[in-house]
Amino acid sequence: MGIVGNLTPQQRQSFDSQGFLVIESFASPAEIEAMRKRMDGMLQAFDPTTTASIFSTKNQVKLTSEYFYESAEKISFFFEEKAFDDNGNLKQPKELSINKVGHALHEIDPVFKEFSCSENVSSLLFSLGYKKPVIIQSMYIFKQPGIGGEVTPHQDNSFLYTEPKTCTGLWLALEDATVVNGCLWAIPESQKNGLVRRFIRGDDGVYFDRPSPSYDQKDFVPIEVKAGSLVVIHGDLIHQSFENQSSNSRHAYSLHAVDTDGCKWAEDNWIRRKVEPKPLYASGQT
Q: Is the peptide bond before 145 cis (omega within 30 degrees of 0)?
A: no
Q: What is the pLDDT of residue 58?
A: 45
Q: What is the pLDDT of residue 149?
A: 82
Q: What is the pLDDT of residue 283?
A: 57
Instruction: Give yes or no for a contact between 153 and 231, defined as CB atoms under 8 angstroms apart.
Output: no
The CATH topology of domain 9-32+101-265 is Jelly Rolls (2.60.120)
Q: Which of 195, 168, 164 lies closest to 263, judged by CA?
A: 164
C-beta neighbour count of 42 within 10 angstroms: 18
d(CA 146, CA 140): 18
Q: What is the pLDDT of residue 134?
A: 95
Dmax of the chain from CA atoms?
57
Residues 6 or more apart in contact with residue 101 via CB below 8 angstroms? 39, 42, 43, 75, 76, 77, 78, 139, 140
Q: What is the pLDDT of residue 286?
A: 39
Domain boundaries, the chain: 9-32+101-265
d(CA 148, CA 184): 13
Q: What is the pLDDT of residue 180?
A: 95
Those residues of the chain that have pLDDT short of 70 are 1-3, 52-63, 82, 273-276, 282-286
